[in-house]
Amino acid sequence: MVDERDGGGGTFWVGMMNLRCLFLIGLLGSGVVLGAEKPNVVFIAIDDQNDWIGCMGGHPLVKTPNLDALAARGTLFTNAHCQAPLCNPSRTSLMVGLRPSTTGIHGLSPWFRTLGQYEDLVALPQHFENNGYKTLSAGKIYHSWRGPSGGGKGKGKGKGDEKQVMEFQEVGPAGGFGTKPPAKLVPPTPFGNHALLDWGVWPLDNDDTEKGDYQVASWAVEKLEGMKKDEPFFLAAGFFLPHVPCYATQKWFDLYPDDDSVLPALREDDRDDTPKSSWWIHWKLPEPRLKWVQENHQHRNLVRSYLACTSFVDSQVGRIMEALKKSGLEENTIVVLWGDHGWHLGEKGITGKNTLWDRGTKVPLILAGPGIKGGQKCNRPAELLDLYPTLVDLCGLPKTPHELEGLSLRPQLENAMAERERPAITSHNQGNFGIRTEQWRYIRYVDGAEELYDMANDPQEFDNLAAKKKGVIAEMKKWLPKIDHGPAVGSSSRVLTLYDGVPIWEGEPIGKDDPVPQDQ
């Protein structure tokens, strides 16, 4: 028997349907009631959003009134971190509840459903669907919300490709950055004329309605307005901006001064006390180095573009929150807002992601709604990996079929001072880990090189104390994951491996004496 929405993956969905039957039998036997008393979930993702959010204090000039209002009525985690500073492994980890070092998904490929051991895995939206929830999604939730063309197994008919993967019962617009100018607004970067490496004022008419994120928000608003009050739902909306290309209309740029006051704190010698292997995990990337943006007079423009896009996305979050309130569903709806990883805007000499410092791993994480104390700021370390078990806990769902590696944040949601069992742990490719406590950040690279920062006294991570604090390092090393799998089958894009002691970046060896490609 094949699900009528199947796009060629009948065997997979027969298995999924059997799992659903088992879940329903279990629920009936346990006395769990499916119905209006179950809290709804609105699940909002923001791509490449670092802590430049008003309530997080990451940038002194940023304006995000809607995110600040959401944090004020819920709990803000001020020390939350991704599991990987890259879209696909970060989002996959969050949605399946497993670390990248467990799955081996380190790069922009593969899609996890193409791996035999995970093709039947019950991901977060499936667990909600199996327990009586209507699941809906628009925009970017997974790295690709349909999955790769022709790959994997799943349900639903992809637009233009029936084999595209769908993870939700109902899928809305894909989103993205929307319209683009007839020619790039910035000069070609050292990587070449990469289409996404662009930023500036666009469209020129101050009309935001053609932007992909505006359309995602409009879809979410429409769905909330028509939602039945007796049918629990899990509605996901993923915003693309402030991911490059950072296009925003003039009204958002006008929120920020056109002078160097917008620039982050920098130190020219900031990489002098970091090991060469700290460069390996972002050896050659399309995102330009600080040197290029400065020499091409683009640093201020890039930062203002990022801030403008952040404020634009904040306004779209506000539209969804207003619709939720007007729908009468707010009191029974858990709102979760998260960013998939951080983003550098010149710090440590680079732009982009792919790092294990706070700027690359720290993300906004806000939860509000039933069961969550309002007006809290929690500085305990938290992980995006924690969201799956947290939502299962808050919504009273049964145990998941596979063991989740995250911890429920419910204790901190009830009391921000509640103890946390462990630090936040981020990885980027095999053997590279960042460990974050309330006071310390420890980084261990694949060659054994180390960094240590006192985040309480040096939040910019300017001074590497690894040579001076051996006792602290010994304690931090205890948290390095015991499971550390290399790249899964089909891995590609931003993948670093070590073969006979030689680092290999995307298939090309890095020689012992090779200079760091500072211009890229």
114 to each of 1, 110, 329, 344, 404, how far by Cα in Å? 21, 7, 37, 31, 20
| Record: fold of 10-421+487-509 | Alkaline Phosphatase, subunit A (3.40.720)
Mean pLDDT across the stretch 371-375? 97
CA distance linking residue 106 with residue 102, whole number of Å: 10
For residue 184, give the nearest of 176, 171, 173, 195 by alpha carbon.
195
**Model pTM score:** 0.90
The residues spanned by each domain of the chain are: 10-421+487-509
- The answer to whether residues 66 and 86 touch, using CB atoms and an 8 Å cutoff, is no
Work out the end-to-end distance of the chain between its first and last CA atoms, rounded to an integer number of angstroms: 52
Positions marked active-site: 87, 143
Per-residue confidence at 119, pLDDT binned at 50, 70, 90?
very high
* pLDDT at 189 (0 to 100): 87
Q: How far is CA 8 from the centre of its chain?
A: 29
* pLDDT at 238 (0 to 100): 96
Contacts of 273 (CB under 8 A, 6+ apart): 463, 464
The 10s digit of each residue's pLDDT in 16-28 is 334 444 444 344 3
Phi, psi torsion values for 247, nearest 5 degrees: -100, 130
* Helix ranges restricted to H, 198-327: 212-225, 250-253, 277-280, 290-295, 299-326
The 10s digit of each residue's pLDDT in 337-363 is 999 999 999 999 999 999 999 999 999
pLDDT surpassing 80 at residue 57: yes
Position 394: which residue type? L
The 10s digit of each residue's pLDDT in 267-306 is 999 999 999 999 999 999 999 999 999 999 999 999 999 9
* pLDDT at 373 (0 to 100): 98
